[in-house]
Chains A and B, each alone.
Chain A
């Protein structure tokens, strides 16, 4: 176990501070008082095979197959990937491509299921008694259930639970900050399912082998705090509920670690290097369902909100439910939204097509009206430095922006382009309405593309060299084969000639022997 930081010695129970951040209007009251409701089965379910960071899953079903609820339909491919299960029973009507729930609207491999309405469960995953199961088995179960980080990053949860092998872990932090405005799904989950959640947290703590468990909740969720304090024991662990200030981006993994432990995670390093692992509250609930009941991750709580929606609500929806169905369930749209977002208003991504499905990482569907968005004219930078003050990772967004606008991507990378967590505080605070974070998004993508082109150039050279080597080896083998054949032919000729000569000289005596040999 690593030593507590120097600062921690002086402030044993208090919180530390994070730099930067903003305080946007939370607007959570739109949906925070509506209890989680189940959504009726949609008429069509589209399950993308790429719902997580990493390689896309491999489809295991074909068109016209009948699937049962919870049946494995996509198998994880590679170490960083996740299983995909059928959200309900029905018939597979297509295994092909469909628009991704992504701003690009590009197609993604998708399995389309027409539910049969019976919602019949197939065989569940084998249950596990987490109290005495070895940690590896718990992690394996989480992987089998296809659980990914449900805060939005969608990193396979099992990979994080297996960090125990590489790092000396001592603390598990449960991220219940939910710092994005509008979103209330984790809040409702903590209020309504605190006991199950606590159990899930206990299971994860056991899998990680940590000594300390902290549940971090922002101060604007008093009921959730109370509920979690009531259920603060699970599997022999005491869950310490810590109230963190309401400040965006408190839900960022590294910032949560900083405010709770006082330790700063180095740039491009994992929090696990400090011995801390952060999991989302909703992930803990999914772990509870998978380990205790053998239920894979096939549904999640989604906040449908924004002033464009008639009846904002928190809905437990099946993965693959079309966004249009969710909006219809919430009374439809009150007016044509200015922007339709998946995720929160700060980091969420706009979508064009309302038929796209929700996926494992979708925590919100927001229909924002013109009054709620901040669509204003862009003005020149006045060097006020507000973006620098609010940047939670200590960058200079205006400088990054200037360099990117001048096409100096390498220069931007030198001043920390790749350390940006894309929280959007700079764009939010800019008095000139400069699209700072959007510019940074572009630059990151462009830089990655350049990287991949360079990689391809090297790969091409390698492929060409491999082909040349192979062709040379083939030619060499052919030459050798020819030489061998030639030698054989010559040897044969020689033998034949010798035999003929021998036969000629020894013909009279040899004849009876040959005759005898030929007819045994």
Chain B
């Protein structure tokens, strides 16, 4: 009994030491830019970019295999911030390669189709879905980032992506045309 215990502990300690040394010896330095990129990304690990989590995307972006526009929930704002550190020399607008100022989208659950399976509830990276087992679920619009994670897991296809509804508070007038705009348009015509 004692022999077995001692030999196993010795083995464990020895191997542990070996592993520790190996980790020190063959340590791979992660470029600091990965941490920087990771700090800008939303950190929700929603998977909308196709990489394993925000960290995965950050590594790919540091390598240059992913564009700065790869994070759909982050939208233009995040892309602009990323462009500033990933491709600091390039003009931010060209780096975004015409990424339009997309209207923010949110998930919407058709209540008739919802079976209350809790799959989307568990998957939502920002806890934007509320509901309980066998109860209709609904989306908290203010917390939803429009990452599509819930749409993929819904077994009844009850969730769709919709343009985030404008509220009275968020509405504002469109930009009035300046005289210069009017002139150039006339000339163009």
Contact = CB atoms under 8 A, between A and B. Distances in A.
Contacts of A466: 127
Contacts of A379: 179
B171 A50 contact: no
Question: Number of contact residues on A: which range applies?
Answer: 35 or more
A9 B150 CA distance: 69
B168 A467 contact: no
Interface stretch (A126-134, A431-439, A505-513): A431-439
B180 A449 contact: no
B125 A452 contact: no
A45 to B, nearest CB: 20
B168 to A, nearest CB: 5
Contacts of A438: 173, 176
A445 B174 CA distance: 9
A435 B176 contact: yes
A381 B172 contact: no
Interface residues of B, number: 33
B175 interface: yes
Contacts of A444: 172
Interface stretch (A97-105, A226-234, A306-314): A97-105
B177 interface: yes
Interface stretch (A16-24, A116-124, A455-463, A491-499): A455-463
A441 interface: yes
A381 B127 contact: no
B161 to A, nearest CB: 17
A378 B179 contact: yes
B133 interface: no
Given A378-B178, A378-B182, A454-B77, A467 B172 contact: no
A461 B127 contact: no
Query: Mostly helix, strand, loop or mixed at chain B's interface?
Result: loop
B175 A378 contact: no
B72 to A, nearest CB: 13
Given A460-B145, A463-B127, A445 B177 contact: no
A106 B170 CA distance: 11
A460 B42 contact: yes
Given A381-B179, A405-B178, A454-B77, A446 B45 contact: no
Contact of B143 (A102, A452, A463, A465): A463
A459 B45 CA distance: 15
Nearest to A447: B172
Contact of A457 (B42, B167, B173, B180): B42
B156 to A, nearest CB: 24
Chain A residues touching B, majority SS = helix
A503 to B, nearest CB: 25
A133 to B, nearest CB: 36
B30 interface: no
Contact of B176 (A439, A448, A463): A439
B168 A104 contact: yes
A453 interface: yes
B166 interface: yes
Interface in B147-189: 166-168, 170-180, 182-183
A386 interface: no
B43 interface: yes
Contacts of B174: 442
B179 A467 contact: no
Contacts of B78: 457
Interface string A470-481: 000000000000
A94 interface: no
B149 to A, nearest CB: 12
Contacts of B126: 460, 463-464, 467
The 4 closest A-B pairs by CB, nearest first: A445-B172, A435-B176, A463-B126, A464-B44
27 contacts: A100-B168, A102-B168, A102-B171, A104-B168, A104-B171, A378-B182, A379-B179, A380-B183, A381-B179, A405-B175, A439-B175, A442-B174, A442-B175, A445-B173, A446-B175, A452-B170, A457-B74, A457-B77, A460-B126, A460-B145, A461-B42, A463-B44, A463-B125, A463-B128, A465-B43, A467-B125, A467-B126
